[in-house]
Structure 1
Amino acid sequence: MSTANPTRQDLLQEVRFLKSVGMSRAPLLGRLGIYRAMDLLFFFPRAYEAPAPIQGVELFTNGTQVTFVGTVQELDERVTQNGKHMLGVQIAADGGGFVRLLWFNQPFRKDSLKPGTRITATGLPRSTVLNWEMVQPQIRLLEADEVPEGRRPLAIYPLTEGLKAAGMRFIMQESLPDLIPLIEEVLPTELRERLGVLDIASALHAIHFPDSLAEAEQGQARFKAQELLVLQLALSLQRAAREGSAKAPVCEPSGKIHSRILNRLPFQLTQDQATSVAEIGRDMARDIPMNRLLQGDVGSGKTVVAQYAMLLCVAHGCQATLMAPTEVLARQHAGTLDRSLASSRVRVALLTGSLSTRQRRETIERVASGEVDLLVGTQAILSDEVVFHQLGLVIVDEQHKFGVMQRAKLRTDASQPHYLVLSATPIPRTIAMTAFGDLDVSTIRSKPPGRAPVHTYVAPKDSLDSWWRFVEEQLKQGRQAYVIAPRVAEVDPESDVASAEGFYEHLRKQVFGHRAVGLLHGRMDGADKESVLEQFASGDLDILVATTVVEVGIDVPNATVMTILDANRLGLSQLHQLRGRVSRGTHAGFVCAVPTSGCEPQDNARLQAFEQSDDGFELAEMDLRLRGPGDLLGTSQSGLPPLRIANLVDDAQWVALAQEVAREILQQDPNMESPAFAKLKQQTLRRYGESMQLGDVG
């Protein structure tokens, strides 16, 4: 430390002033995000090396890690021919025998290793002609009468080039004992007891210098609980602020309005759909903006529930908008609404980036004047040019395809609409409680009656010829087929990755020359996409070769066969979304997932799960375990905050407890004004103050 009597101010000093760091190591720590002394305290080990057993020299074997106890006899040091400083320490081991310890470029160690000093040393013994040697061992000094109980677990920290594990541990061992007592406690005593965690000083010592793996877990538990509690408090405070200040139009589903809307819907609601409609109706009947997530498996009928909400809004003289992630899906939604509402007075318009300048201008003018009741579109709706006459409801389809700030853009001081976000990717429970913790959740598990089953297979590329014969048989029966490729075009002629353009040419020239084959991908302009989709929907195309642009929302009930090429390159939820395209009607569906050459299907856990289960909720939980939360939703898109130590896969119990405790705190003290909560509130605002849209509107 820089002072003989450390103070809290020392926590803020730059690490270069720490004796164990200096000017040479400070830039290395900077690469790890460590700039101040305090940062060292919260730079946690990523794992621990289990203690090696204490053994006598007679039990040593070459290259097997051991711990032994002994007494320093003598030291020698020299500089090697290549300029390295070498320190040798001769140890007389308890029980007989000698071990020579060697360190390179660590001359400071001789200050503590005086002859007669008792130590424990851990390392990989190497036999020489005269004795055993250990290079760069880990040691602990013993008191004169101390009886060693075995080595403590060894903390393993994240590293960067130029900084070795031993150097990082040395920095921690030299710096943290003086820093730990300076840190202020954030959690009041009662709150720590409620969570069942250590005080902060004990937790820091336990996580960095544990006497056992169990103690290390206790230290980790403290910071997992605190991190998740701070997140839940941020979400709850944000929600309270929104509900306390914003006013949304009241759209009560009276008996008459409710009946008229149900008569407009294309079929009778399932029980889950009816429950979701009731929950949405209760929300929209209040002047507090609805903030609800409607999640359901593919083909469960979320769009019908969304249509109910839009018509409820229009019935009260307000406008509603439905925002889709792709133009293909936006056009399909608009077409569905046009057909469904053809005999009504509800006016539907489409706004996408491919409209002509004149079409765009006319649509925007009609929206501003109130001549459009339902506006369907892509993120073009978020343009500053688009001003609503009286916006009452925003529906965001496939919410994880939009960034958090995009989803919040339509909520301004002047306009506080209700929000409904849709997800055909079921959200695992722990993510729903964190990244989407500010939303109420409605869930549709059951599918409308009459849907036929889908059969899923995983097959190697060399079996494609027999699969194409099966596809031909289905086409002869009047069905249609999808072929999905991960890329639009070939990037490298030598690459084995399938491209949509390449397979389109292959299939129409060599395999299905007698069939009408179409091509669809994201680089095509809007008119061409629309034309291809219309041809496929009308049955003019037998086969549609596409990228994953068809992942969401495309609805062609007669298309019942799908081939997914290089399926191992796709996530489990994405595979399930694609499969949902062939479960739209009364005919049985067939999906064949074909992994990349050289990838054995039985070795790919995702493909095994995909083949064995068609439950989207079960697969979403499995995808979370296999890929992690960031990959599952897309880190930059999900709004998921960076968690330093908590893990949404393994720490579900801490997520639930943190949510419960946050609710108790705010019920007791809604604004956290009590002095006991001052530091906790300060930490919550400091960590999430700039991103308080997190969890809001998706």
Structure 2
Amino acid sequence: MSDSRASTPLQRLRTPVQFLKGVGPQRAERLAKLQLYTALDLIFFFPRDYQDLLEIVPADDLKEDEPASITGVIEDVDFRGTGPGRSVLGVLVRDNQSYVRGVWFNQCFLRKRFQVGQHVIVSGRPRLQGNRWEMAHPVVDIVEPGEHPEGGKLLPIYPLTEGIRQGLMRKMVHTALDTHGSDLEEVLPDSFLKQHELLSVHDALNKIHRPHSREEMEAARKRFIYQELLVLQLAMSLRKHQLNERKSALPIPVDFRIDERIRKLLPFELTEDQNKAIHEICHDLNRTIPMNRLLQGDVGTGKTMVSVYAMLAAVAAKTQAALMAPTEVLAKQHARTLSKLLSHAKVRIGVLTGSLTEKERAKLLADVAAGEIDLLIGTQAIIATEITFQKLGLVIIDEQHKFGVRQRAALRSAGNDPHYLVMTATPIPRTVALGMFGDLDISTIRNAPPGRQSVSTYIAEDEQRAKWWDFFRKKLREGRQGYVIAPLVDETNRDDTLGGVEQLLEHLANGELEEFRLEMLHGRMPPAEKDAVMQRFANHEIDVLIATTVVEVGVDVANAVLMTIESGERFGLAQLHQLRGRISRGKHPGYLCVFANPATDASRERLEAFAGTTDGFELAEVDFKLRGPGDLFGWKQHGMPPLRIADLQRDGELLAKAREDAFSITDSDPNLAGAKWEKLQRMVMIRYGKSLEIGDLG
């Protein structure tokens, strides 16, 4: 029974499911596995699919081979084997005084589903067998007592857990809706619903759970998909407005003299795309509103030089800059690159990583606080440490998708907000960019600087190994270097396929590459050991590096132009593309061979797309199409709640519309403070206030 102590609509909606009629404590435990705890959870537990119910007719009115549905009670369940691996399952259903038999061949897993006495709907093509109707492999839906589904409509199909059948789940959802649906408030104003041709929340809930037609179901789904995307975009817009209102950043002006001084330090002329990105960044840096910009660029398009320009602009304005990288290997590489570039400039560089001694760390932090460090480079240790900057002007985060939203807002300086530039070499599909980075302005670099070499990519099978290794050895003898990439550190499977770094090293050192200097690199190694290996590889003391994907981000060895990837079907497109980017860093062309045994069409399509283009933006869209958003871009890591019904891939048009509407709303009411948007504001805060760190708008 419902909890009688609940008095307000919100309290009634939060009634624990166990108090709903027909649920109870035992079923409540099972519903908890689906994260269904309250009446409200059940009401917004949307169907994953729908079953078309044919018009239900009496069994006496069935016609030969004409699709139809009948409803009745199971009288008998018969299962028998007919040979090795073969079986027949028969279920006899009585409709009044007539019978229909459902028959399934070689589907023994269905036998436990049916029990004598169950009420069912059976849909299929009837055929007379003697004097009785029979349906081969019909669709059967089990009806709970008291449930009266109508023919000719859509039957909702919900996600399930052990011990909960479809009929029971439908009944519990409908009970929650019938009992507490009227307690729901409409969060969208009537005029807004009318303008956007959206159903009311009550109408939409009834039509999404009990649709009589595809049109009703689609209209209901549109309402909730749009609302979910609107709430997300409002959260992004509110975050952007709040950042703009702070006006607490230190302005970093860049005039023509500073521009000229910086460009003299850079090793080459910048491309048109790089110059455009720099123009956008300089415009932001010159304001007291903190810059909040994403710089995305394909592998090798020169994002690092753009970030160097921004950091030097910060130093020229007598402020400090911090560069945060996802790994210690990459942080130290950035430090080496910058030290070399700035060897003749008076820029003081510090490196903060987890491998520093306590004494080294204390000295570095003291120097940062005293303003004796202009540019601090490090890993997450930068935000995991109590650190005080004397005058922090700019924070650059490399590989943005490796960090969460809170991490990119964790640095402050004497009451000031620094400017933020976040970078990624993983091109982001447009809808994901709107969904996940909607609070950021975006700069894009597509074109690589002149002189970047091409990479020839091959997808191969085992019989082509000898030919590839002949070519690999030939290039090594010419003085080049290479990588061999494995998906795991240590793996030997039943087929003795060498899938791990350790096995590959042993195999190659005693086989195809025995005449060359080999070493391995993987994430389990201590940071100092990884750095030492990378340095030896950069010095050409190692010919071939056997590694995991630890090398996928940012490791630069211009002479390394060869790469072999084992078990390529295990890698995502973005990973494969990042790995390929390691062998196009110098003056020699690159060569990549991926050995793979794709087991699915999607895996095969992914590999074919990879071999067919080197355009990272094109590959990102292919990857998104094949795999969906998933956690490709760190949605969970950002702490973002999962989308209930919207799909960033499928609902791109609605997302763009929701974004346009959200920014229009906040342009006229930046904090959603008006009575018109009060309920919607509350929904935004409940859903995204914590994960996006939106301040208290009340």
TM-score range, shorter chain: 0.7 to 0.9
Counterparts in 2 of 1:462 and 1:65: CA distance versus 1, 3 Å: farther
What is the match of residue 214 of structure 1? 215
Alignment of 1:382 onto 2:387 = no
One-letter code of the match for 1:408?
A: A
The 2-side partners of 1:87 and 1:559 are apart by 70
The 1-side partners of 2:594 and 2:353 are apart by 33
One-letter code of the match for 2:654?
A: W
One-letter code of the match for 1:511?
A: E
The 1-side partners of 2:383 and 2:100 are apart by 72
Counterparts of 1:79-478 in structure 2, within 5 Å, are 90-91=95-96, 122-123=122-123, 131-132=132-133, 151-411=152-412, 414-478=415-479
What is the match of residue 83 of structure 1? none
Counterparts in 2 of 1:581 and 1:168: CA distance versus 1, 3 Å: same
Deviations 1:556-587 (A, max 9, x none): 12211111111111111010000001111232
The 2-side partners of 1:175 and 1:682 are apart by 23
How many Å apart are 1:252 and its aligned residue? 0.7
The 2-side partners of 1:654 and 1:150 are apart by 32
Give unmatched runs, 5+ long, in structure 2. Answer: 77-90, 103-112
What is the match of residue 116 of structure 1? none
The 2-side partners of 1:633 and 1:414 are apart by 31
What is the match of residue 81 of structure 2? none
Counterparts in 2 of 1:423 and 1:167: CA distance versus 1, 3 Å: same
Counterparts in 2 of 1:457 and 1:689: CA distance versus 1, 3 Å: same
What is the match of residue 483 of structure 1? 484
What is the match of residue 27 of structure 1? 29
How many Å apart are 1:378 and its aligned residue? 1.2
One-letter code of the match for 1:514?
A: E
Alignment of 1:43 onto 2:48 = no
How many Å apart are 1:642 and its aligned residue? 0.8
TM-score when normalising by structure 2: 0.87
Please state whether the residue corresponding to 1:637 is helix, strand or coil. Answer: coil
The 2-side partners of 1:537 and 1:529 are apart by 12
Counterparts in 2 of 1:564 and 1:189: CA distance versus 1, 3 Å: same
Counterparts in 2 of 1:137 and 1:550: CA distance versus 1, 3 Å: closer
The 1-side partners of 2:414 and 2:229 are apart by 30
The answer to whether the 8 A contact 1:459-1:601 is kept is: no
Counterparts in 2 of 1:194 and 1:255: CA distance versus 1, 3 Å: farther
The answer to whether the 8 A contact 2:69-2:122 is kept is: yes
How many Å apart are 1:258 and its aligned residue? 1.2
What is the match of residue 87 of structure 2? none
How many Å apart are 1:682 and its aligned residue? 1.1
The 1-side partners of 2:29 and 2:127 are apart by 35
What is the match of residue 80 of structure 2? none
The answer to whether the 8 A contact 1:123-1:137 is kept is: no
What is the match of residue 517 of structure 2? 516
Deviates more, 1:272-281 or 1:25-34: 25-34
Counterparts in 2 of 1:441 and 1:15: CA distance versus 1, 3 Å: same
Deviations 1:421-464 (A, max 9, x none): 11000111111112111111000001001112111111113322
The answer to whether the 8 A contact 2:231-2:683 is kept is: yes
How many Å apart are 1:546 and its aligned residue? 1.2
The 2-side partners of 1:3 and 1:472 are apart by 75
Deviations 1:199-243 (A, max 9, x none): 111111111111112221111110011011111111111222222
One-letter code of the match for 2:265?
A: R
Counterparts in 2 of 1:27 and 1:646: CA distance versus 1, 3 Å: same
What is the match of residue 550 of structure 1? 551
Deviates more, 1:314-323 or 1:207-216: 207-216
What is the match of residue 643 of structure 2? 643
Counterparts in 2 of 1:518 and 1:694: CA distance versus 1, 3 Å: farther
The answer to whether the 8 A contact 2:298-2:445 is kept is: yes
How many Å apart are 1:374 and its aligned residue? 0.9
Q: Percent identity?
A: 47
The 2-side partners of 1:413 and 1:202 are apart by 53
Deviations 1:288-314 (A, max 9, x none): 111110000000000000000000000
Counterparts in 2 of 1:57 and 1:429: CA distance versus 1, 3 Å: farther
Deviates more, 1:253-262 or 1:570-579: 253-262
What is the match of residue 589 of structure 1? 590
The 1-side partners of 2:203 and 2:691 are apart by 31
Give unmatched runs, 5+ long, in structure 1. Answer: 79-85, 110-119
The answer to whether the 8 A contact 1:87-1:104 is kept is: no
What is the match of residue 664 of structure 2? 664
The 2-side partners of 1:252 and 1:653 are apart by 39
How many Å apart are 1:527 and its aligned residue? 3.0
One-letter code of the match for 2:374?
A: D
How many Å apart are 1:358 and its aligned residue? 3.1
Deviates more, 1:297-306 or 1:163-172: 163-172
The 2-side partners of 1:203 and 1:262 are apart by 59
Counterparts in 2 of 1:412 and 1:156: CA distance versus 1, 3 Å: farther
The 2-side partners of 1:587 and 1:514 are apart by 23
Q: CA RMSD in A?
A: 3.5
TM-score when normalising by structure 1: 0.87
The 2-side partners of 1:452 and 1:652 are apart by 35
Counterparts in 2 of 1:207 and 1:588: CA distance versus 1, 3 Å: same
The answer to whether the 8 A contact 1:297-1:425 is kept is: yes
The 1-side partners of 2:208 and 2:516 are apart by 65
1:67 to 63, 66, 69: 69
The 2-side partners of 1:453 and 1:229 are apart by 43
The answer to whether the 8 A contact 2:74-2:92 is kept is: yes
The 2-side partners of 1:49 and 1:440 are apart by 43
The 2-side partners of 1:602 and 1:434 are apart by 25
How many Å apart are 1:633 and its aligned residue? 2.0
Please state whether the residue corresponding to 1:240 is helix, strand or coil. Answer: helix
